[in-house]
Amino acid sequence: MMNERGYGVDWQDSHKYITYTDLAREQAGEKACKIRDNKLEKYYNMDFGKESMEHEFERNARTAEAEQSKRAASRVKPTEPDRAGKQSAQRSVGDVERELRGIDEAVKSRTSKGRAEQAERRRAEQEAHQRAEAERRAAEEQQRIASRRYIGRDWEFER
């Protein structure tokens, strides 16, 4: 299911971690296209470990099984095939996919190109802020000058 969405998953019982691969970035020749589940946990404070994933798969299977037994008990023929387990798995895959997109952004921020883009963005923001500040100061100065002229006219008029 993850392959359909453009991500490779390397899950082996003999390995400690699950490795996720962005297949499009890998085909483009980028080296920063893989991430381990422990890094996902570190960045997003969510549990992506093997045990928690297996627990979630079991929970989804139990939920699907409970739905099937409910339908069988009520003796109502379902109008659609049971898809509860598949839908839950798709939601889980969607969650992982969102996290991987976030990781992609985090990886970009750690690459030299990403840092350069961020520095350029920061520089442009600072320049815009400085221009706005200069415009604000100029407007304040114009108000001050105008109010002095107005006060000066009134003062002379009252004499």
Summarize pLDDT for 4-63 with one digit per residue, the tens: 878 888 888 888 888 888 888 888 988 888 888 888 778 777 777 778 888 888 888 888
Q: Are 63 and 89 in contact (CB under 8 A)?
A: no
Handedness of CA 1, 47, 97, 7 (dihedral sign): negative
Q: Which two tokens stand for residue 6?
A: 């453009």
CB-CB contact of 23 with 6 (8 Å)? yes
Q: Residues with Cβ < 8 Å from 96, sequence gap 6 or more? A: 2, 7, 20, 48
Confidence of residue 131 (pLDDT cuts 50, 70, 90): very high
pLDDT score, position 127 = 92
Give the count of alpha carbons within 13 A of 119, CB side only.
7
pLDDT at 154: 53
pTM comes to: 0.39
Under DSSP, the state recorded for 8 is E
Residue with token string 């299911």: 1
% of the chain surpassing 70 pLDDT: 80
